[in-house]
Amino acid sequence: MVIRRLGASGLVALLALALILVAILWPGLIAPSDPLAIAPAEGFQPPGPAHPFGTDESGRDILTRIVHGAAASAGIGLAATALGIGLGLVIGFAAGLGPAWLDAALGRVIEVLFALPTLVMALLLVAVLGAGTQSSILAIGLATAPGYARILRSRVRGVARSDYVGYARLEGDGPFTLFRRHIAPNTLWPLVSTATLGIGQAIVWVSALSFLGLGSPPPSPEWGAMLNAGRVYISTGWWMTVFPGLAIVVTATVLTVLGRRLAGAGR
């Protein structure tokens, strides 16, 4: 089984991912308070028994905001990754299975776009689309699509030219049967582990856009927006930036470890 091949670190990452999923789907189980409720008299309280992660300038509990912000940060990252993979599938299969002229044209476009750093490309797209949550999803999805398309195109071309696909073609299998039985199963699994890594990266990029003021607007509990709000008080309220930053790092690390273990299990 794949779970048995994840190893100790993979199982720990899987358990941590389960906790993150609980925070995404049922945040009230962990933090039942309102993440937007303000209490000015309790502002800038350091971490303590009443507020384990402290409070912000408006008296809002940082732990509550981080838990409820998991849905925003991870949800935006997941949506952006889904968009990138969807576009990557269309482009990758078209380039890998299409005629030579289409493969050459799409291959050059993919290489040019892949040469641009993802965050730089996302910033350029946000500058065109405007700031906001939907723009962040579109920008990161479009910026990551060339990477997925490049991986899939290379994999599809290798599988399509393999001996077992050639034998299946000689036995009379049509294009649709070849795709369903041989090409798709042998090309999509590597993309699963890559997508798991991509979600963690997308969360970091989403947080980066929000930190720059180009993502979710305040007072959203999105982690990058919390970093942006807390940077003003870094010298007096360090907990306002440290704990949201740790949430980003831990989530990205968990998904990275899990993605690498899935890739190893797949091999």
| Residue 219 forms part of a structural domain | yes
Give the number of domains in the chain: 1
| Residue 223 forms part of a structural domain | yes
Biggest CA–CA distance in the chain, Å, is 78
Q: Which residues are CB-contacts of 47 (< 8 A; sequence separation ≥ 6)?
A: 53, 54, 239
| Residue 1 forms part of a structural domain | no
| Domain region containing 251 | 51-266
| Residue 7 forms part of a structural domain | no
Closest CA to 80 of 267, 207, 217: 207
Identify the pLDDT of residue 68: 93
pLDDT tens digits for range 72-125:
888 888 899 999 999 999 998 888 888 888 888 888 888 888 778 888 888 888
Q: Which residues of the chain have pLDDT under 50?
A: none
> In this structure, what CATH number is given to the domain that contains residue 85?
1.10.3720.10
| Residue 167 forms part of a structural domain | yes
| Residue 6 forms part of a structural domain | no
Q: How far does CA 132 lie from the centroid of its chain?
A: 17
| Residue 91 forms part of a structural domain | yes
Identify the pLDDT of residue 189: 74
| Residue 37 forms part of a structural domain | no
